[in-house]
A and B are shown apart, each in its own frame.
Chain A
Amino acid sequence: MTSSKITPKLMSTKRQLSLIAILCVLAGCIEESIPYDLSDTDLKLDTLTVHSFQSTTFQSPPEMGTLSTLYLGDGNGFSNQYILIKLSNENISRTLAMHELDDSNYVVDSTFFQLWYAADSIDITSTFQLSYFPNTVDSIFSEYESHYLNPSFTELSAISVQIAQTTLVQESEDTVSDNQAPPYLYFPIDSSVILAFADTMLANYTFMITAVDSLDSRIGFESREGGTTLSPRYHLNYQYTSTDTLGVTTTDTISTSFLTVADLSFTQAPGVVDSDSTNLTIGRANGFKSLVKLDIDSLDFPTNTTFRKADFTFEVEEGDSLDGFKVIGYPLESNPLTFSYQELIEDSYQTETSYFISGTVSGGIITLDLKYYIHGIMQGKIQNYGIKLYSSVTNDPYQMIHLETASPDSIDPILKVQYVYP
Chain B
Amino acid sequence: MYHAYGLGMHFPAQDGATLGISGTGLVPAYRFGLSLNNPSTWNRFMFSTLSSAYSGLRVDQLSSSVRNEISGLDRLQFIIPIKGKYGFGLGIKPYSQQKFSFTYESGSMILDQDTLTLSKEFSGRGGISSLYTGISFPISEKDQVGIKFDFLFGSSRFTNNLLIDSDRFQTNSRHFYSGTVLNVYLSSNRFKLFNKEIHTFASAGLTLSPLTVHKTTNQLYQDINNNGIYDIYDFPDSVSEEISTTLNAYSPQEFGFGFDIGITESVHLLSEVYVWKNGANVTADFSILDDHIKQWTHMNVSLVSFASPTPKVWYETFHFRTGAYTRKDEFLNNQNSVIELGASLGFGINFGFPVNQIDIALMAGERQMGSTKTESIRRLTVSVNLTDIWFIKRRHRN
Contact = CB atoms under 8 A, between A and B. Distances in A.
A41 B111 contact: no
B102 A30 contact: no
Contact of A10 (B69, B99, B352): B352
B161 interface: yes
B322 interface: no
Contacts of B236: 306, 372, 375, 379
B102 A304 contact: no
Given A28-B69, A33-B66, A34-B66, A14 B394 contact: no
Interface string A361-392: 00000000001100100010000000000000
Interface stretch (B34-42, B148-156, B163-171, B323-331): B163-171
Interface of A: 1-6, 10, 13-14, 17-18, 20-22, 24-39, 41-45, 47, 49, 304-308, 371-372, 375, 379, 416, 418, 420-422
A22 B76 contact: yes
A379 B66 CA distance: 44
B122 A22 contact: no
- Could you say which interface size class chain B belongs to? 35 or more
A45 B164 contact: yes
B52 A22 contact: yes
Given A10-B353, A418-B112, 4 more contacts: A6-B353, A32-B68, A34-B1, A420-B222
Contacts of B104: 36-39, 41
A421 B63 CA distance: 33
A372 B68 CA distance: 42
Nearest to A34: B1
12 contacts: A2-B395, A6-B388, A14-B352, A24-B73, A25-B73, A27-B71, A30-B67, A36-B104, A37-B104, A38-B102, A45-B111, A306-B235
A308 B235 CA distance: 9
A317 to B, nearest CB: 23
A33 B121 CA distance: 10
A32 B67 contact: yes
Given A18-B386, A33-B101, A36-B1, A420 B162 contact: yes
B320 to A, nearest CB: 23
Contact of A36 (B52, B70, B289): B289
B84 interface: no
A305 B67 CA distance: 36
Contacts of B389: 3, 6
A420 B235 contact: no
B120 A28 contact: no
Interface string B87-108: 0000000000001011110100
Interface string B205-236: 00000000000000111100000000000011
A1 B236 CA distance: 72
Contact of B220 (A22, A30, A38, A305): A305
B54 interface: yes
B118 interface: yes
Nearest to B104: A38
Given A3-B389, A31-B68, A33-B103, A308 B397 contact: no
B354 interface: yes
Contacts of A416: 112
Nearest to B65: A32
Q: Determine the main DSSP class of B at the interface with A.
A: strand
Contacts of B111: 45, 47, 418
B220 A41 contact: no
Contact of A41 (B70, B71, B122, B169): B122
A47 B118 CA distance: 14
Contacts of A37: 104
B275 interface: no
Contact of B171 (A43, A44, A45): A43
B36 to A, nearest CB: 14
B171 A29 contact: no
B261 to A, nearest CB: 30
B282 interface: no
Contacts of B162: 43-45, 420
B164 A308 contact: yes
A24 B352 contact: no
Given A25-B72, A34-B102, A38-B122, A3 B171 contact: no
B111 to A, nearest CB: 5
A27 B73 contact: yes
A379 to B, nearest CB: 7
A18 B384 CA distance: 8
Given A36-B1, A43-B160, A308-B169, A24 B54 contact: yes
Nearest to B118: A45
Given A24-B54, A36-B289, A43 B67 contact: no
Contacts of B171: 42-43, 304, 422
B61 interface: yes
B69 to A, nearest CB: 4
Nearest to B356: A14
A308 B222 contact: yes
Nearest to B46: A1
A34 B162 CA distance: 17
B67 A21 contact: no
Nearest to A7: B353
Interface string B54-66: 1010000101101
Nearest to B54: A24
Contacts of A421: 220
A29 B54 CA distance: 14
Contacts of B160: 41-43
Contacts of A306: 169, 219-222, 235-236
Query: What 4 pairs between A and B have smallest CB-CB spacing?
Result: A27-B72, A43-B162, A38-B104, A3-B394
Nearest to A48: B112
A41 B122 CA distance: 10
Given A36-B1, A41-B120, A21 B52 contact: yes
A44 B222 CA distance: 13
B235 A14 contact: no
A164 to B, nearest CB: 51
Quick one: which of A26, A42, A44, A306 has the most chain B CB within 10 A? A306
Nearest to A28: B71
B288 A41 contact: yes
A421 B220 CA distance: 7
A418 B64 CA distance: 36
B119 to A, nearest CB: 10
A341 B172 CA distance: 49
Contacts of B118: 45
A44 B72 CA distance: 36
Contacts of B101: 31, 33
B50 interface: yes
Interface in B370-398: 384, 386, 388-389, 392, 394-395, 397
